[in-house]
Structure formats: structure tokens, C-alpha cells
Amino acid sequence: MSDLEKQGHKTYDEVDSSASQSINPVTSPTYAYKTSATKWQHFKDSFKRVEVEELDPNLTDAERAAIATARSPLKRHLKSRHLQMIAIGGAIGTGLFVGSGSSLRTAGPAGLLIGYAISSTFILCMICALGELAVEFPVSGGFTTYCTRFVDESFGFAANLNYAIQWLVVLPLEIVAASITVNYWGTDKKYRDGFVALFWLVIVVINLFGVRGYGEAEFVFSIIKVTCVIGFIICGICLVCGARGSYIGGKYWHHPYGAFVGDSAGARFKGTMSVFTSAAFAFAGSELVGLAAAETSNPRKTLPKAAKQVFWRITIFYIVSLTLVGLLVSHKDTRLIGTSSVDAAASPFVIALVSHGIKGLPSVVNVVICIAVLSVGNSAVYACSRTLSAFSEQGYAPKWMNLEYVDRSGRPIVGIAITSIFGLLCFIAASDKEGDVFNWLMALSGLSSLFSWGGIMLCHIRFRRALSAQGRNTDELSFKSPTGVAGSYYGLFVIVLVFIAEFWVAAWPSGYKQMSGSAIATNFFEVYLSFPIVLVCYLGHKIYKKNWTLWVPASQMDIDTGRREVDIELLKAEIAQEKAELAAKPAYKRIYAYLC
């Protein structure tokens, strides 16, 4: 790593004032301040831009993008506990607590579980692949940057824009969901704007505290959500086993309810396939550990553990809790979300408790849903602002937009401002069409995650191909994906199949013969809106740049810029020593280290 790259990670509050005379603020992102300055002056100065040295104009676009994202002056304040809770916090939200209701209604309890179980398998492959890449390249923008470096410039443009749009719409989407949740208590419409404004303000203020404030907030939010899910699981098991006087068991899986929705095999298949849209929305955020790598103090130590543990926690929380939801709530229950704009306030978790006479807890669950909104909204501002910054650093955005602006506190302040302003769309919650707004915003963000996850696994495949083509091997990797390249191929293959199945479901939904043409068109775009957006971005960039290559040749791929450990031989020696130490430990410790 160059001196410039090393300097790029210091900020003005980390420099001794005695060194101020030797620092050039034009060529270095390092700043000094006088100890006599007031706290208010320090606060104002923290919003000033960190200036970095201009890049060599003779560099290629790919080289400029790699260097710019590698030396981004974001602060490294995230720890292991933050990373684990960030991933969980981004993945446990209204998608689980609220969105799963519509999936239960359209697919039945068995279809709901099948959809989420299949999603969990490629989520495992994605997280492992991302962990390997993020440990080696903890750069600004994370995997969106990898798409440009390891696949193709146009693919990187589409991936960056897709991911930014996904999180851009998630913020108002989550706050609209919060307004739906507040309806549960019969909140008068005239107070709804007040709740929306409160949620929006809290989310924006948290992100103004920088990455440390974001990390601590996510840590607290996620603990509350995880506690709620664990409590629901314990309560749900007791209810299913007859704690309220009558044994429930698999009652709602049998006649007259049925495990699936539909009278024919085709209808049941379509119902199950429809789950993938809501599952993708619900699992969105699992990849945040990779995006946060650039702001992690020691990614080599913390990311592998976070990547592996996050999968197990999310899978257990989702699969177990949704199994209990399917056992406690009939898919024919008219209170499930999507039935009407009035009943949309109740989540299946709340319905499960209310239906079996549990008092008090339904309101607690709704409070936790509101906290989940804050958590996912917090992640939305964080993810979108960092993606927009990396988008500009890679040369995709006009210079006048200043999207790469990072202040002295390490905040991509322009990205935060744009995301926050777009979040004001949440005030549409006061409209009678809030249910429609929820559906369309969910359509924009639903399949976007599948594109991102597929892109991550494609980047992993291309990275491993480049190692081989350049005469190098995986011995130089600090962390190797437990699922390997085979897992990435599997995950990418399943995602392609899901897109094909989703197209069929979107174009020919269940009961389409009885539907009008406009209803079929509305259903198609609610399910498949992300696909044409990404396709237009990809082809549009190809045409604009007149770049018709499919991907960067493996032999020419840059697989060194951005690494924090640049002495490969020393790194190999450290890895070999760590493996020897692990091999000397008891079998149960080796198994735990492999899985967690």
C-alpha cells in the first residue's frame, strides 16, 4: 500500500497539532486543527471535505476506479459485534414481520417455507463468497466495485445503480410500512404524518453521527429484534403444543386449509414461486457486511466470523419463526396483509398471538416492528450513501453532483443528503393509496437483491478464474469461502432459475384468464420491475461507451489494488501458522471454527 493510501485513512481529529505545518491539505486527506479551537468550530469543520491527491490522468478508467475506491477516506470504526448485528439488522425487518403475511396468503405454509428455505441456500453461498472477496478487498462500495473490476464496466454500472436504487426506495418503503403498523392502534390519520416525520428524523440524525453512530444504533436495534423473534419462537412452540388448552399441531396444513394455495399443481407452483420476491426483499441486507468492510478496523479477523455466523442466525430466525407462523395462522385468514387497506396493519406475528388469546404481546411485537423500521431505514441510508459515493469514485456520476464528497468525519455527506431527501416520499403514507405505494416500492426493491447476490457470486467466480490465469492460487487468501467456487456456481444457477420462474409467475399469474389486461400488466411490473431497469442500465452503458466486451480478461484483471496486506509471502506465512494452530485444537473447536 502506498503512503498516500495509508494517509487516506487518517482524518483531521487523529493528527497531532504539532504536525500541522508538515501537512499539505491539497495532496493529502489528513487534517490538523488547533487545540484552542472551540467544539462548535470542530463540529463545523467536520463537514468540510477531505481533499485527496488528484489521480494520474494517464490511468485507464479501470485503474482510476480501483485506486479511487481503495483510498476512500471512510473511517474504520466498525468492530466484529457491529458487523454481525449490521447484517442481522439489515435482514430482519418488515420483510419478515409484515411482508411474510402476503407470502403466506398466496403460497400457503408449505409454499412459504419452501421459498424461504431455497433462498437460504443461495444466501449461504453468497455470504461465503462475499466474505472471501471483502476480506481481500475492503474497498469503498464493496461488491458493487468488484463488479466493475472483475466482470465488466457496464455490468458494474448496472450493479451500482441497481443497488443504489434498491436502498433509495427502501427508506420511504420502511417508513410507509411503519405507518401501516401504527394503524394497528387505531391511530388517527391526522397524527400519521407526525409518526412518519419522527421516524424519518431519527434515521437521518443517526447517520449524521457517522459510521460509529450507525454501528452502535444497529447493535441496539438488532438486539431488540433478535430478542423479540426468540421470544415469539418460545411462545409459538408453547401455543402449538397446546399451552392455551387445545393442541394445534399441523391443523392449518390439512383439510380444509391445505399446505399450499391452489387446486392444481401449476397454481401451487406459481404460489410458491411468488414467495421469492418477498423472500428477496426480506433477506435484503445480508450483504451489508461486505459493504461495511471498508469501514472495519480489521476485516481479516472480523469478516469471516461475521459472514458465517450471520447466515446461521438469519436462517434459524427466519425458518423457525415462519414455520411457527404457518402452524398458528391460516393462509385463509382475512387479516393477512394485502387483504384490504384497513387490515394491512396486522402482521402474521401479531395475528398468531391475537388469534390464540395472548394479550399485551401483540402490541409489544408492533413496537418491535417500528424499531425494525428504524433499523432497516438506518441501513438504507448507510448503504445507499456509500454506494453513491463509490458510484462516483468509479467515474459513473457527473462531477458536478459531488457524490464522492466525504467529510472529515468520514461521512459521504452528499449521498446521505440525497437518500434522506428521497426518503421524504414516506409522507405519501397519509394518502389512501398507501397500500399501493407499499406494493410498488417493494416491486422496485424486491428482485434487486437477487441481481446483487448473483453479481457477488459472478464476481467470486471471475476472481478465482483470475487467480488461476495469473499463476496464483488460494494459498494467498486470508479467508476462503467454505462453499468454494462450486457454491457460487450453484447460487448463480438457482438465481437464474428463480428469474425464469418469476417471469412466468409475473406474466401468467394464477387465475390470469379471469383477469383484465391492465390487471395482468400491473401484476407483471409489481413482480418484475427490477429486471427491465437493470437491463436498460446495462445496455445503455454499453451503447454509450461503445464497449462490447463481455468481461475483463482474467489475465488482465487487477487483483492487488485495495488489499490491506500487500506482502503476499508474509501473509502466506501467517495463514500457514494460523492453520497449524487450528489443527492442533480439539475436533469440536475445529468444527466450530469452520461453521462459525
DSSP output for 99-146:
IHHHHHHHHHHHHHHHHHHHHHHHHHHHHHHHHHHHHH---TTTHHHH
551 with 456, same domain: the answer is yes
Site of grid cell 490511468: 59
Mean per-residue pLDDT, 417-440 = 78
Q: Are residues 349 and 474 both part of a single domain? A: yes
285 with 98: CB under 8 angstroms?
A: no
Please give the Cα distance from 579 to 596 (Å, whole number): 16
138 upstream amide cis, omega within 30 of 0: no
Q: What is the mean pLDDT of residues 240-260?
A: 85
Q: Say if residue 8 is in the same domain as residue 123.
A: no
Average pLDDT on 493-510 reads 85
The 10s digit of each residue's pLDDT in 141-162 is 888 899 999 999 999 999 999 9
* Between residues 321 and 36, the one the model is more confident about: 321
Question: CA 11 to CA 29: how far, in whole Å?
Answer: 7
Mean of pLDDT values over 444-452: 82
CA within 13 Å, CB half, 217: 25
Name the amino acid, one letter, at 442. Answer: M
- Checking if the pLDDT of 135 tops 70, the result is yes
Q: What percent of the chain lies above the pLDDT cut of 90?
A: 25
The three-state secondary structure class of 407 is strand
| Phi and psi angles of residue 262, each rounded to the nearest 5 degrees, phi first | 120, 150
CA–CA separation, 230 vs 101, rounded Å? 19
The per-residue pLDDT for 346 is 63
CATH number at residue 424: 1.20.1740.10
Burial (Cβ within 10 Å: 0-12, 13-18, ≥19) of residue 436? middle
**CA end-to-end span of the chain:** 31
Q: In this model, does residue 503 exceed pLDDT 60?
A: yes
Within 8 A by CB and 6+ apart from 507, the residues are: 520, 524
Res 237 pLDDT > 80? yes
- Residue 451's nearest CA partner among 509, 532, 557, 552 is 532
The per-residue pLDDT for 434 is 64
| Length of the chain counted residue by residue | 596
Residue 21 has pLDDT above 80, yes or no: no
Residues 242 and 312 both lie in one domain: yes
Whether the per-residue pLDDT at 446 is higher than 70: the answer is no
pTM of the model: 0.86
| pLDDT for position 13 | 41
Choose the weakest-confidence range: 23-37, 59-73, 296-310, 418-432. Answer: 23-37
Instruction: Specify the higher pLDDT residue, 352 or 28.
Output: 352
Among candidates 84, 287, 274, 93, which has minimal Cα distance to 171?
A: 93
Q: Are 87 and 289 in contact (CB under 8 A)?
A: yes
Residue 308 Cα distances to 79, 125, 353, 592, angstroms: 16, 10, 32, 10
- State whether residue 64 is helix, strand or coil: helix
- Mean pLDDT, rounded, of the chain: 81
pLDDT at 469 over 90: yes
374 and 522 together in one domain: yes
Mean pLDDT of 274-303: 83
Asked if residue 572 and residue 485 are part of one domain, the reply reads: no
Asked if residue 373 and residue 389 are part of one domain, the reply reads yes
| pLDDT for res 146 | 92
Does pLDDT of 10 surpass 60?
no
pLDDT at 203 over 70: yes
3-state secondary structure 415-427: HHHHHHHHHHHHH
Answer whether residue 458 shows pLDDT above 70.
Answer: yes
pLDDT category of residue 246 using cuts at 50, 70 and 90: confident
> Domain check: are 154 and 277 in the same one?
yes
Q: How far is CA 130 from CA 90, 155, 323, 335, 536, in A?
A: 16, 17, 28, 39, 26
Longest dimension (CA), the chain: 81
What residues make up the domain containing 45?
1-54
Domain total of the chain? 3
548-590 pLDDT, tens digit each: 888 899 998 988 888 876 667 777 787 788 778 878 888 887 7
pLDDT at 12: 38
43 and 117 within one domain:
no
State the Cα–Cα distance between residues 66 and 46, nearest whole angstrom: 26
pLDDT band at 111 (very low <50, low <70, confident <90, very high): very high
Helix (H, G, I), strand (E, B) or coil at 151: helix
Greatest mean pLDDT among 333-347, 387-401, 429-443: 387-401
Q: Residue 541: its pLDDT value, please?
A: 93
- Answer yes or no: do 596 and 541 share one domain: no
306 and 264, same structural domain?
yes
Q: Is the separation of the CB atoms in 423 and 175 below 8 Å?
A: yes
Q: Distance (Å, rounded) from C-alpha 590 to C-alpha 203? A: 41
Q: Which residue has the higher pLDDT, 177 or 6?
A: 177
Domain identity same for 34 and 183: no
Q: Which residues of 450-463 are buried (b: 16+ CB within 10 A; e: fewer)?
A: bbbbbbbbbbbbbb
Residue 596 in this model has a pLDDT that exceeds 60? yes
